[in-house]
Amino acid sequence: MLTNQKITDFLQKTAAGTAVPGGGSVSALSAALGAGLTEMVANLTIAKKGYAAVENEMKEIAETGQNLREKLVSEVDKDSNAYKDVLAAFKLPKNTDEEKAQRIEAIQDAMKNAARVPLAVANDALQIMELAEKVIRNGNRNAVSDGAVGVMMARTAVLGALFNVKINLASIKDEVFVEDMMQQVNKLESRVHEREKEILSHVNV
């Protein structure tokens, strides 16, 4: 698993001339780091003097952030595995008409899954941005910059994941599927830019 590697090994593998891990896995990792920073600020707020009124809120944020982080860690590998399935589908035999038809179907199915995975990452990353806003506004003021970095990591994850959705959609023949996915992509892109500006406007350092 990619996520069991040392950071230096993961970076080396990313830099190598291989298809995976690529932008999708890195987007998932970026979102997981954003979740971790959001948890950090929440945990630095809990039981601290002057923050009793928001302690329960911070506990909920820390728990939700942990759940999202753990999910996103699994999506680092899930994205790479989805692309490996695409590569495997392209290697299927195409000697007969039946094999050709099966190969085309397998490729299309794999491409659809390769689009769904980063879309899930983008949705999770947007949730992290929403959580980070709460710790920026109500959490420990000494860690507000960490919350801001969490927002920006999550924002990058949203946009990076959506790039991966779109590049996969370009090879999918199912017009209904593509249209539905593009509607979701467009909504997320609009939302992430809007929320980034709103959230970071509360960062006063």
Residues 42, 46, 51: CA angle, nearest 5 degrees? 100
Mean pLDDT computed over every residue of the chain: 95
The answer to the question of residue 16 being in a domain is: no
CATH number for position 114: 1.20.120.680
Is residue 51 within 8 Å of 140, Cβ to Cβ? yes
In which element (H, E) is residue 165 found? helix 144-169
The pTM assigned to this predicted structure is 0.93
At 39-79, the pLDDT tens digits run 999 999 999 999 999 999 999 999 999 999 999 999 999 99
The answer to the question of residue 141 being in a domain is: yes
Reported confidence tier of residue 1, pLDDT bands at 50, 70, 90: confident
**Which two structure tokens, joined as six digits, stand for 109?**
């199915």
Mean pLDDT of the region 133-143: 96
pLDDT at residue 3 above 80? no
Distance CA 58, CA 73 (A): 22
The answer to the question of residue 1 being in a domain is: no
- Specify the pLDDT at position 4: 79
The answer to the question of residue 12 being in a domain is: no
Residue 106 is part of which domain span?
A: 21-200
Reported confidence tier of residue 19, pLDDT bands at 50, 70, 90: confident
pLDDT at residue 196 above 80? yes
Mean pLDDT of the region 78-98: 95
The answer to the question of residue 5 being in a domain is: no
- Specify the pLDDT at position 159: 98
The answer to the question of residue 95 being in a domain is: yes
The answer to the question of residue 15 being in a domain is: no
**Which two structure tokens, joined as six digits, stand for 54?**
């928001």
pLDDT at residue 2 above 80? no
| Backbone dihedral angles phi then psi of residue 123, each to the nearest 5 degrees | -65, -40
Total Cβ atoms within 10 A of residue 24: 28
Distance CA 143, CA 42 (A): 9
- Single out the residue of 116, 133, 106, 107 nearest to residue 180, CA to CA: 116
In which element (H, E) is residue 188 found? helix 175-200
Residue 28 makes CB contacts below 8 A (sequence gap 6+) with: 72, 73, 75, 76, 78, 79, 118, 121, 157, 161
Total number of domains in the chain: 1
pLDDT at residue 117 above 90? yes
